[in-house]
Structure 1
Amino acid sequence: MFFEILLGVGAWQLLTRKKRPSFQWLRQKPKDRSAALGAAGEAKAQARLRETLIALCSADYHLFEGPIIIEHAPGTDFPSAEIDHLAVTPFGIFVFETKNWSGHISPSSAQGFLTRTDRDGSAQDRRSPLEQNRTKVAFFRSRLPTLWPVAGAGLLVSDDAHLSPALHSDLLSLGDLPHWLRARRDSFSGLPAIDVRKAATAIAPLLQTTRAAMDAHLARVSGNSYVADKER
């Protein structure tokens, strides 16, 4: 009987060990977890963007694939910036900054920031995607023909993100994206359509899309804790 009990306990331990969920992600460093969440959010947004652009433009669009780095401030300590998504359509060129934040997202009293509030009520200010996008949008506006309008938006892609109605209309959930792009299309109505291929060809030389360019940018950002914190 004693040996039967031991065998039963052993079998139970093996069974429960197999069913025990893996919490490997919890053992990752916070920086690694943040990067993984960010990458997952960007992939989700890129897929939704492509789906929406196909619905609106059929094949007449260009969605650049990452990584995308621009040198927007040459000669400074931080000359480069990362772009999450860059789309060319017949009615405009669009720069999107993606955040995979959860919680309640609302305006902050601090200029250029948003407040993210967790379920437990703890709040944290984070730099607004629109603020991060500001110099990137300006970069393209300064280098492309004025007949090609450039606009930016922030995509808050987490299913657990709840956006305050008080947020700027350029801060979107993925569900808001089709309507936002339709509104841009409608506001462009009556103007000559952008030649998508021509525009994409003009934009390509402004971009650095190699892994080496991304690594160099990340090294510069991670070397400065203030900049890295603002880029979360």
Structure 2
Amino acid sequence: RKNLPLQTHFLEAEWERGYLSDTLKMTPVEYLEKTGLAAVPRLVLAHGVQFREDELDYLAAHDNITVAHCPASNLKLGSGVAPVPEMLKRGVHVALGTDGAASNNRLDLWDEMRLASLIHKGVGHDPLAVSSRQLIDCATYQGARAFGYERVGRLAEGWAADLTAVDLTALHYLGADEENMSSYVVYAGGSGDVKHVLCGGGWIVRDRAFVPRPEREIRAASSAQRAWLLAAKS
């Protein structure tokens, strides 16, 4: 009613297809249509593991729909592997996510890039499936686009000054150049290589230190909240 973007988990586990067909008497596509989900300005479907190939053209035809691929969570929960290579071939918008801490303890988007590329190569027996450049796009531009941000997610004139600066002096970047940089970033690099992060031109991380708030304060506040939650549960 308010014409807002919406995000929801969708077709993460096998039982969901059965629930849609047996209880609601709908296919996943019919559910998206009849509930009005497919008509919102931006719809982010987390996971999409159980999408079938004959449903992907429908997703591709809806420029407002993005599937958020969360490979580590899907593997930890035994949910399966989303058909991301076929999604990308069909033109489905795919972003990269982590899901929550309960099913992805590290919440490390860099891990997701590497894992997403490797599992699809292995499952599909195709070393060319889901390239490093595609994964960087999923982790940056497609994620910003999914939630309606404009001119965010790429380094370009007139776009937001959001950037991550990576320290390339580590030994695992030896041999990196402009041509192979995406491969080094995804397969050899890690979040520990991040030296600076800027959002809108403002410092978020500078020289590997979180600028908005001292780490000791974050640790103290997190510990206090955890104690409160455990006390409330008991």
> Whose relative contact order is higher, 1 or 2, with alpha carbons under 8 Å and at least 6 apart?
1
TM-score interval, normalised by the smaller of the two chains: under 0.3
Structure with greater proportional strand content: 1
